[in-house]
A and B are shown apart, each in its own frame.
Chain A
Amino acid sequence: METVALSDISLTIYKGEFVAIMGPSGSGKSTLMHILGALDQPTSGKYILDGETVEKLTEDELADIRNRKIGFVFQAYNLLPRTTALDNVMLPMSYAGVSDQEQKDRALRFLELVGLQDRVHHSSNQLSGGQQQRVAIARALVMDPAILLADEATGNISSAQADEIMGIFQKLNDKGHTIIMITHEPDIAHFAKRIIYIKDGKIGEDILNKEQKKI
């Protein structure tokens, strides 16, 4: 049986936007995010990323785009098992040919940014859900990506920590990075400048958030 996860999606997101995507569970948010992150491709339709039609790119070109332009925080964190927080954060840099020393310096800086400086050498299965989520955020930020995609990135962490993460996102956005995050918490969505509601695979509402919350 064929499941239709998304249909009739027509959406343009410009450079420098800060978008929150909201909607009930199973509405297709993650599927949309995977397409935006060049991880998945629509069965029909077209996705143009930074001027390039994604369907026409080779696998290796896509890998390169994911590596350099996109930072992805997965809903299920997806850390490498039996691997330290530090090594997990270093992973995307190892595919970009960054020198060992710089990999380490940068990974340590971003782990500190998400408040995990004292968990650097813990293996991923020794970390709590919230800690794993923060490692995943550090990993998404470490390549300084033009586009940051976060799928329920604050789902498992305290609201104080969530606010801190939002502060990081906003600072990044102020520097010109595009941020797209999925959340079902209205509180979190209000940190964004634009909120898109999805229901049953279709775009319901697409509104500008005039009262953006600032940290």
Chain B
Amino acid sequence: MNIFKLIITSYRNLAVNKLRTGLAVLGIIIGIGSVIALVSLGQASQQAVQSQIQSLGSNLLTVSPGSQTSGGVRGAAGGRTTLTYDDAKAIESSSKITTVKQVSPVYSSRGQVIAGKSNTNTQIYGVTANYASVRQITLASGSFITARDVASNTKVAVLGPTVVDDLFDGNTNIIGQEIRISGQSFKIIGITSSKGGSGMTNQDDMIFVPLSTAQKQLFGVKYLSSIYLEAKSSDVMIRAQNQVGYLLLSRHKISSPASADFTIMSQQDILNTVSQVSGTFTALLSGVAAISLLVGGIGIMNIMLVTVTERTREIGLRKALGAKKKVIIMQFLIESVILTFTGGLIGIIFGVGGFYVYTKIASSTFVISLSSVFLAFAVSTGIGIIFGWYPARKAASLQPIEALRYE
């Protein structure tokens, strides 16, 4: 008996009870559909977060004040004021530090900004000249803060595009104009290109001024809010982390790394944390979807058991006429695989469609990994085989004469 004929026979048998077949397939459609939709969603959001974090700068290390028990009790020694410009200078000039290419100290705080009649509240970044290259910031027009600006405390500002939107209605022809930050007048010398992002990672909603100006004129502080480091390559990130860590420990006269009053994080650390969170979330959703798939599979098994019972006489006859066990098993397995494969196919269409609608509504990118589609096909076929196996075995082991007598 060839496979092609078995498939036709199975199809005919399934067509006899269209409603029942349809309901059994529905379980698989819902299962596969939700797995596809949720896995795609998870992958897409993870990719989005990753590309956002990567755009913050390559081989970037961030030194922040405060102990490593973030969320817990902060280090006692000075809290958030432990990093200084001298620390940054020391990292730059120390002969022990061989893995760091650039050092960019930053002091940032929120400030009120006024331009003509408009005003906004935004993040003010006091930076040095190399901040732009460390954090991969490019200019849409004008120029960035220079070393001379930092040396002579000039009052110049570089605006992020969101700030330009807020203060000047998006008019970018503003180089040379004045804005007032915390009541002091600053000359606009540049506008950065948009980097995208939102919320905490929005890199467009900020104003850059010289670090010295920010510390002395604007906020009157002596400490830094962070030091950004660019390592020489991605291979030396951990060595750079260690070298800088030990230098700062000795500068701060702390003997044990466990009681450090600063934290050094790499992009990879941040990425890992975020990936872990969104990965857990994806796994959770996929787990729920997988359970619905399992329920769908049980539905298939149930329907196949009913079918076997209903067709006991037919099975008996086939065996009486010479059907071997394998042929009977094949026939019922093919039926259940047709059910789950069809369900998988429709489920994939619905899942991909649902995800597409989501990306349209949330205006995010529509990416479906081919591997997840193939996996869905494999899983639905596998479910047909796994959940069809027991009913098929049951059919194949019926005694022909008993089966023929069955009413």
Could you list which residues of chain A lie within 8 angstroms of chain B, going by C-beta atoms? 34, 37, 39-40, 59-60, 63-64, 66-68, 72, 74, 76, 78, 80-82, 91-92, 94-96, 139
The reply to whether A63 and B319 contact each other, CB–CB distance below 8 Å, is yes
Q: CB distance A94 to B324 under 8 Å?
A: no
Bound together, the chains give a CA A187 to CA B373 distance in angstroms of 69
Given A63-B323, A63-B324, the answer on whether A94 and B5 have CB atoms closer than 8 Å is yes
How many inter-chain residue pairs (CB < 8 Å) link A and B?
A: 54
New A-B pairs, 5, CB < 8 Å, besides A39-B401, A80-B317: A39-B320, A63-B319, A92-B321, A95-B321, A139-B321
Q: Which residue of B lies closest to A64 (CB)?
A: B322
Closest 6 pairs (CB-CB, A-B): A67-B322, A95-B322, A40-B401, A60-B324, A92-B321, A39-B401
**Inter-subunit contact B322/A63 (CB<8 Å):** yes
Q: Establish whether residues B401 and A64, one from each chain, have CB atoms under 8 Å apart when the complex forms.
A: no
Interface centre among B313, B317, B320, B325 (most CB of A within 10 A): B320
Q: Is the CB of B401 within 8 A of A91?
A: no
User: Can you list 5 A-B contacts with CB-CB less than 8 angstroms, sorted by A residue number?
Assistant: A37-B320, A39-B401, A60-B326, A67-B322, A76-B404
Query: Is B1's beta carbon under 8 Å from chain A?
Result: yes
In the complex formed, the residue of A with least CB distance to B1 is: A94
Within B319-378, the residues touching A (CB, 8 Å) are 319-327
Neighbouring A residues of B404 by C-beta, 8 Å = 39, 74, 76, 78
Contact B320 A60 (CB under 8 A): no
Contacts of A96 in B (CB 8 A): 322
Q: Is the CB of B16 within 8 A of A82?
A: yes
Decide: A91 and B318 in contact? CB cutoff 8 A. yes
Task: Provide the bound-state CA to CA distance between A40 and B16, in Å.
Answer: 31
Contact across chains for A92 and B317 when beta carbons are under 8 A apart: no
- Give, as a whole number of angstroms, the nearest-CB distance from A191 to chain B: 25
Chain A residue nearest to B397 (CB atoms) is A59
Closest to A60 in B: B324
8 Å CB contacts to A: which residues of B210-267?
none
* In the bound complex, CA of A67 to CA of B319 (Å): 9
Instruction: Collect the chain A residues with CB atoms within 8 Å of residue B401's CB.
Output: 34, 39-40
A64, B313: Cα distance in complex, Å: 19
Q: Is B314 an interface residue (CB 8 A)?
A: yes
A154 to B318, CA, bound (A): 23
Does the CB pair B320–A95 fall under 8 Å? Answer: no
Interface string of B285-314 (1 = CB under 8 A from A): 000000000000000000000000000011
A39-B401, A40-B401, A78-B404 known; A59 and B322 CB under 8 Å?
A: no
Cβ-closest chain B residue relative to A143: B322
Does B66 count as interface, using CB distance less than 8 angstroms? no
Check B321–A59 contact: CB distance below 8 A. Answer: no
Q: Give the nearest-CB partner of B316 in chain A.
A: A78
Interchain CA distance A60-B400 in the complex, whole Å: 12
Once bound together, how far apart are the Cα atoms of A37 and B12, in whole Å?
A: 30
Smallest beta-carbon distance A16→chain B, Å: 23
Q: How far is the CA of A37 from the CA of B5 in the complex (A)?
A: 27
Given contacts A39-B400, A74-B404, contact A80 B314 (CB under 8 A): yes
Complex contacts, B317 vs chain A, CB 8 Å: 78, 80
Check A60/B321 contact, CB under 8 A, given A39-B400, A78-B313, A94-B1: no
The residue of chain A having its C-beta at the shortest distance from the C-beta of B396 within the complex is A59
B327 contact set on A, CB distance < 8 A: 95
Contact B325 A95 (CB under 8 A): no
Which residue in chain A gives the minimum CB-CB distance to B321?
A92
Contact A66/B320 with A40-B401, A59-B325 known, Cβ cut-off 8 Å: yes
Provide the residues of chain B in CB contact with A80, threshold 8 Å.
314, 317
Q: How far is the CA of A81 from the CA of B12 in the complex (A)?
A: 12
Closest Cβ–Cβ distance, residue B42 to chain A (whole Å): 46
CA distance A92 to B327 in the complex (A): 13
Minimum CB–CB distance for A30 against chain B, Å: 10
Bound: A64/B317 CA distance, A:
14
Q: Are A95 and B1 in contact (CB under 8 A)?
A: yes
Distance between Cα atoms of A82 and B314 in the complex (Å)? 11
The answer to whether A66 touches B314, judged by C-beta atoms less than 8 angstroms apart, is: no
Q: Which residues of B contact A72 (CB under 8 A)?
A: 320-321
Contacts of B318 in A (CB 8 A): 91, 95
Within the complex, the shortest CB–CB distance from A88 to chain B, in Å, comes to 10
B167–chain A nearest beta-carbon distance, Å: 79
Q: B321 and A91: CB pair below 8 A?
A: yes
CB contacts (< 8 Å) of A95 on chain B: these are 1, 318, 321-324, 327
Give min CB distance, B193 to chain A, whole Å: 70
The minimal Cβ–Cβ distance linking A122 to chain B, given in whole angstroms, is 16
Q: Which residue of A lies closest to B399 (CB)?
A: A40
Q: How far apart sit A72 and B324, CA to CA, in the bound complex (Å)?
A: 17
| Distance A188 CA – B16 CA, assembled complex (angstroms) | 40
Residues of B within 8 A of A68 (CB): 322
Specify which chain A residues have a CB less than 8 angstroms from the CB of B320 in the assembled complex. 37, 39, 66, 72, 74, 78
What are the residues of chain B within 8 A of A40 when measuring CB–CB?
401
Q: Are A67 and B321 in contact (CB under 8 A)?
A: yes
In the complex, chain A residues whose CB is within 8 Å of the CB of B16: 82
**How long is the Cα–Cα vector from A91 to B9 in the complex, in angstroms?**
12
